[in-house]
Amino acid sequence: MDFTPYLQTPEEGTTEEGLLSIEIPGRIAVAMKGRFLLHAVCKGFGENNRITCAVTDQDSCLTYLADDSEPSYELLICTDYLESGNGFELVRLAKQRQPKLHCVVLALGDVIPAEHAEAPWLEAVVAEADFVEDQQPLKAAVLAVMAGHSYRSPSLRTGLLPYLSCPRLTPREYQVLDLLASGMSDRDIAKRLMVSEETAHTYSKRLLQTLGVNNRLQAVLKGMRCGMVQL
């Protein structure tokens, strides 16, 4: 999936939290598993005019990164699992071609493969478990690599995953979680459930409270960790 052409199109009825309100001097590439993660991370930058690659597969991302026009690509954020390809391999190949490119991997599997653990090209990795617990590790990882440092989120440094509490959801909350994971906004959910947009927003807000998270991205990732939803 190539989401890039739609980045500059305003989306009515959609409000995403600013997860990564960081000014990046060059262009940004995002490669994520599934439309929801792709959409959420791109929107997390707020002003996303610097994002000129938003895809779900390895080969498409490498094609975008091969564009040597100015400004050059400055940052790549990807998940370890992609719809096609692998995020760690994507970073390895991208760094071979553009050594100055900064890269951050969001590890949905919560681990760094043994063969890559000490790789000099692997700058920053954030475990999904740490992101669910606190949205700041992804921001910390980006700040670190932009300053020329490496980064590993807490559980990757200690080997201990944070405690996971999986609450019981109501049938409606399960339904809303599924719709969020499919990339729907409150407006989309309202149409699907045949309720008002205000009611749909209330449903989403209650879901976040039940899951004990701060935003929709954390909600879907926690839902994945608890086996409640799949991307």
pLDDT digits (tens, 9 = 90+) for 88-119: 999 999 999 999 999 999 999 999 999 999 99
How is residue 195 written in tokens? Answer: 């309720």
**HEC letters along 177-216:** HHHHHCCCCHHHHHHHHCCCHHHHHHHHHHHHHHHCCCCH
pLDDT digits (tens, 9 = 90+) for 67-93: 989 999 999 999 999 999 999 999 999
Which has the closest alpha carbon to 116: 91, 81, 142? Answer: 91
How is residue 66 written in tokens? Answer: 């091969």
Contacts of 63 (CB under 8 A, 6+ apart): none
Distance (Å, rounded) from C-alpha 154 to C-alpha 140?
11
* pTM, full prediction: 0.85
The confidence score (pLDDT) of residue 14 equals: 45
CB-CB neighbours of 5 under 10 Å? 8
- Average pLDDT value for residue range 9-17: 47
Q: Which domains does the chain have, with CATH numbers?
A: 4-158 (3.40.50.2300), 171-225 (1.10.10.10)
Asked if pLDDT for residue 12 goes beyond 50, the answer is no
104 in Cβ contact with 152 (< 8 Å): no
pLDDT digits (tens, 9 = 90+) for 43-72: 777 666 789 999 999 999 999 999 989 999
Distance (Å, rounded) from C-alpha 120 to C-alpha 37?
27
The confidence score (pLDDT) of residue 38 equals: 87
Is 7 strand, coil or helix? coil
Q: What are phi and psi of 6, to 5 degrees?
A: -95, -5
Which has the closest alpha carbon to 223: 173, 187, 186? Answer: 173
